[in-house]
Amino acid sequence: MQKQSGFTLIELVVVIIILGILAVTAAPKFINLQSDARASTLQGIKGALQGANSLVFSKAAIAGEETKGGTAAANFGSVDIGTGTGNEATTNYGYLVSTKEQLANALDISISDDETVAADWYVTVATNDGASAVEIYQAGSPRFGATTAIECYVTYTPATSTTVTPKYVVSADDC
């Protein structure tokens, strides 16, 4: 008779226990990566918006458009930002207004205010006057499609006068 060889039950149990310990210690390091990535992406869009606004304001100051603004679109200024699309950036006191069209133009991103439209970014617009604060959030983030307030977005508040500069606030508690 030929003798069979293999693993004993004890050896298999020990291997399973070791794999379980490794899984318990390694899993927390990987579970939070998605949340960290979303928060980092929000920081990235905030930085892109700040950089774009800095360049837009510089062009507006050179063109003498940095004092034009108010709550009505007729008072806004505009500058050529060289996007090649023929669209000038609309400015309020020299900074970008908060419409989806102007954000898409200056940041060169796919953005929409309608979640049924395919886009990489979405913006909430209370009023489309360009002088109101907006929340910008990413497609696929917990905020996408949410019916309740979830904090995973960047709030952009445009300039409201020549002395009040734009504000950028990242809310990433629920990412």
* Domain map (residue ranges) of the chain: 12-171
48 burial level (CB within 10 Å; 0-12, 13-18, 19+): middle
- Mean per-residue pLDDT over the chain, rounded: 85
Q: Looking at residue 76, what is its pLDDT?
A: 87
Residue 165: count other Cβ atoms within 10 Å of its Cβ: 16
Task: Quote the pLDDT of residue 128.
Answer: 60
Assess whether pLDDT exceeds 90 at residue 8.
no
